[in-house]
Amino acid sequence: MASQRKFFVGGNWKMNGNKASIDGIIQFLNAGPLDPNTEVVVSPPAIYMEYVRGKLDQKIGVAGQNCYKVEKGAFTGDISANMIKDIGCEWVILGHSERRNVFGESDQLIGEKVKYALSQGLKVIACIGEKIEEREAGKTEEVVYRQMQAIVDNVAPDQWANVVVAYEPVWAIGTGKTATPAQAQEVHQKLRAWVAKKVSEPVANSLRIVYGGSVSAANCKELGGQSDIDGSLVGGASLKPDFVQIVNATQ
């Protein structure tokens, strides 16, 4: 089934970069070569999105790292889906573990953001994942299903083609602990079965579920080879030329 889903690799730059370092990233991305069978999207800090969009090969998508749930208003320091679209970008990352756990965003708020972004024609990378204490307490499924439910409740049946789900176990992000490809595959498989039950079989079969959490040039091939892992959402490694190898993981 995985072969029918286009492999997807996202690069989340987080709060990193300046024009000089970004020029270097744009250079290695434009030089590639990037696997034409992989969809690639990078996510610079908001103030560099337009700069990146102007210099990056059009085949590569550009995403916001977050946006709010309404078009405009008195929300100092935030940006809207409409602004992301206005500068020629078409993706946004929502519900990243750092937004949930550092900035306290709730499942409900993330669901509302997903709904609004999709309504404005943005494509969404929706992130879910459990913390170390949750995994150790055997609550992985409970947590990811709860987070997914808040997303599912806000996606219309005809909008699923514009959603990529990123499973990012928080305990595998910068902790030295990594999920094995088998551990990651197990959660992806359960998520897909859950989506089949809660949404529909066709959506479950076509939905891209990508893995995030210490993805590197060393482990990307094995991760990408798992039947329910449709790509990756990459943090630190997306700032380095190694990212090209991660994009080309299935070649």
Q: Phi and psi of 119, rounded to 5°?
A: -65, -25
Q: What is the 3-state secondary structure (H, E, C) of the chain?
A: CHHHCCEEEEEECCCCCCHHHHHHHHHHHHHCCCCCCEEEEEECCHHHHHHHHHHCCCCCEEEECCCECCCCCCCCCCCEHHHHHHCCCCEEEECCHHHHHCCCCCHHHHHHHHHHHHHCCCEEEEEECCCHHHHHCCCHHHHHHHHHHHHHCCCCHHHHHHEEEEECCHHHCCCCCCCCHHHHHHHHHHHHHHHHHHCCHHHHHHCEEEEECCCCCCCHHHHHCCCCCCEEEECHHHHCCCHHHHHCCCC
Task: Name the residues annotated as catalytic.
Answer: 96, 168
